[in-house]
A and B are shown apart, each in its own frame.
Chain A
């Protein structure tokens, strides 16, 4: 019976494992982890009561991490690695059900994801009730969606047009400050200022675009990085307008078509005969940013199928060939910058309206890096990939706040959020090892004659010039 041969013979495989070798390997891993983590985790600096910087060693914590590395490696070598080896030897025959399931998944993934985000606030209310819902809708829903939107916007510049922009947060800041200043000074409403903030950001996008048109690759990245810093420094130093480090507070909050979300008699809750709760505003904001993110996605999908979108992608593939076909590469690059900046402007003005307070600290280089990481991890040019990456990156850092069970192993004063950047780095390395072109790396053609075939990432260029 051929089937019996292919069955996983656990004891047979177990006999084949080189336990001494695995132990040696695990020991080596632990040693490596020790030296690597010694400066990262082993030492901690803090200010003592005399206000002096003191170095303290955290040996127990360090050895707990080293133990995780060593034991984890050993467990991997004697369980998962042999199983993977066995699976690689087994002749692969993709079963009919698996192929069909995959097709069904591909067909229904996007619609069901959209359905889920539409009912998400209701779902949260149902599961955790009014008191706990704010955290889930605000920290997870709104926060993630802002980054999804920023990711979609940057995707136009980096993913489609292939222009590496390290100063994207500048346009986010322009949008936020435009809304904050115009709303406070002139009292315009959120929905009037939203398009205006987008236009202003697009204008700055074009302004940045002009000097960098001739630059490529690394040079373009450096100049855009500098542009992001210039905007931040102007916000810090132009105190009469921006109030410097102190930021702008008391920014008018969006209203429900003129009805404010407060406890007054003409507030949202009173008008609709509900008991007052701050959650209504949060849910309203959730739907506003959801609509904005969907608009961005919709426009990007549309643009990809229009000549301008194809010109962006052609520009990423080969700029000289574009020029030989009569494409004005200057205008094409500028529209890419302007479109990307416009969506960042929308997101920025939403951010200002949601927070009610903004300061230059919200617009540091780290933000640009996070957004770029979302685009790169998601797979450049892929909408779904970017959305998944945003959920993983932003949701992942939010969820660190809730991992209290780790305290049982690491000790009571262990704070997982402090390891955010470390995990961030690990995630980047892992993705770049296993999926160097991002989670979804294939390119879907914008038009087809007979059959839509996805294009492998190895053929698609990354551009950056």
Chain B
């Protein structure tokens, strides 16, 4: 992470316990604006738990998760906001959100964090286009006068046309235009993955959280996915937080990698730094020979 990169999301001292099980322990990291941050680690390391805490699906046991829209000077407000007990602070320059205080739908609606799921969650019985329109629910709801005007047929047509145009834009980017009127459940696996990303992007997020987007994709589809994610970062000014096992994706497109093992952060840095990190090699990528194992074990204190 370069010194110039200003943080968009900060996670501080995050702890998540389920009964006696500590899924995440004292995790702190930052995701920078305009970057792709990857969260990696072996199975059961607590990556999805971190995602669920950030997107409001879980309430963290301890810790602070903050997100800024607009000027970085808002970070100075952070402690004041925490003490005040509010969920968010709005100023002329932007807004600051404390995500651990917000329910899941407000994280998506107000803090504008969109996510996808490890096991794809599409609206299978609705068409591809309908899936993308459901994602634009909140602006469309306002346009339809919270349904009251819409039922009378006042002023909704234009808003719907704009929503369809935006959906069409994302259909083109994800190469799904031909399947727009097919039920989402009929799409092949790779297309369902792309549709879920398109649906998340239709909410106009500032941060897109992708939970294993390359799982189950073949190498060609993986390469396409890389291009799509980089284009989301570069052309749509959306930062990306990524959980991934596929190293060809992680190492190629990430600007910054955070490595978790047993709920604890073991490394944090650029892809090249992570690639050579002894703890990461031990915990995640495996080690080359017996002596290296011993050396690593001595280092981590086993």
Contacts and interface: CB of A to CB of B under 8 A. Distances in A.
B125 A453 contact: no
A310 B126 CA distance: 9
Contact of A303 (B140, B151, B171): B151
B160 to A, nearest CB: 7
A455 B183 CA distance: 6
B156 A459 contact: no
A306 B137 CA distance: 9
Interface string A311-328: 101101110111111111
B133 A310 contact: yes
B126 A313 contact: yes
Interface stretch (A138-146, A166-174, A442-450): A442-450
A321 B121 contact: yes
A329 interface: yes
A279 B118 CA distance: 64
How big is the B interface, by class?
35 or more
Task: With a 10 A CB-CB cut-off, give which of B57, B114, B127 has the most chain A CB atoms.
Answer: B127
B203 interface: yes
Task: With a 10 A CB-CB cut-off, give which of A308, A325, A451, A453 has the most chain B CB atoms.
Answer: A325
Contacts of B160: 447
B151 A306 contact: yes
A449 B164 contact: yes
Nearest to A321: B121
Contacts of B124: 317-318, 459-461
Contacts of B147: 303, 306-308, 335
B248 interface: no
A452 interface: yes
Given A326-B137, A326-B203, A448 B129 contact: yes
B151 A313 contact: no
A456 B104 contact: no
Contacts of A401: none
Task: With a 10 A CB-CB cut-off, give which of A314, A316, A320, A451 has the most chain B CB atoms.
Answer: A314
A314 B151 contact: no
B115 interface: yes
A456 B122 CA distance: 16
Nearest to B171: A449
B284 interface: no
B130 interface: yes
A317 B126 contact: yes
B114 A325 contact: yes
A429 B39 CA distance: 53
Nearest to A335: B147
A58 interface: no
B150 A302 contact: yes
B134 A449 contact: no
B185 interface: yes
B117 A328 contact: no
B135 interface: yes
B182 A317 contact: no
Contacts of B238: none
A307 B144 contact: yes
Contact of A445 (B126, B153, B199): B126
Contacts of B180: 448-450
A189 B297 CA distance: 86
A13 to B, nearest CB: 40
Contacts of A311: 134, 137
Contacts of A460: 124-125
Contact of B108 (A307, A324, A447): A324
B55 interface: yes
A443 B125 contact: yes
Contacts of A461: 124-125
B62 to A, nearest CB: 23
B203 A325 contact: yes
A318 B151 contact: no
A459 B144 contact: no
A313 B123 contact: yes
Interface in A407-455: 443, 445-453, 455
Nearest to B56: A323
A317 B123 contact: yes
B221 interface: no
A181 interface: no
A324 B117 contact: yes
Given A313-B123, A321-B122, A302 B105 contact: no
A462 B214 CA distance: 30
B186 interface: yes
B156 A318 contact: no
A57 interface: no
Interface string B161-185: 0001000100100000100111101
Contacts of B200: 324-325
B134 A325 contact: yes
Nearest to A455: B183
Nearest to B136: A307
A314 B134 contact: yes
A220 to B, nearest CB: 20
A299 interface: yes
A325 B203 CA distance: 7
A321 B137 contact: no
Given A311-B134, A324-B55, A325-B199, A448 B151 contact: no
A329 B138 CA distance: 12
Interface of A: 299, 302-303, 306-308, 310-311, 313-314, 316-318, 320-329, 335, 443, 445-453, 455-456, 459-461
6 closest cross-chain pairs (CB), A and B: A460-B125, A326-B109, A326-B108, A317-B123, A307-B140, A459-B185
Given A302-B153, A326-B108, 17 more contacts: A302-B151, A307-B136, A307-B147, A308-B141, A310-B130, A320-B57, A321-B123, A322-B134, A323-B105, A324-B108, A324-B117, A445-B126, A447-B133, A449-B180, A450-B181, A453-B182, A455-B127
Interface of B: 55, 57, 104-106, 108-109, 114-115, 117, 121-127, 129-130, 133-138, 140-141, 144, 147, 150-151, 153, 156, 160, 164, 168, 171, 177, 180-183, 185-186, 199-200, 203
17 contacts: A299-B151, A303-B151, A306-B151, A307-B137, A311-B137, A313-B125, A323-B105, A324-B121, A324-B200, A325-B135, A326-B137, A327-B105, A447-B127, A450-B180, A452-B181, A453-B182, A455-B126
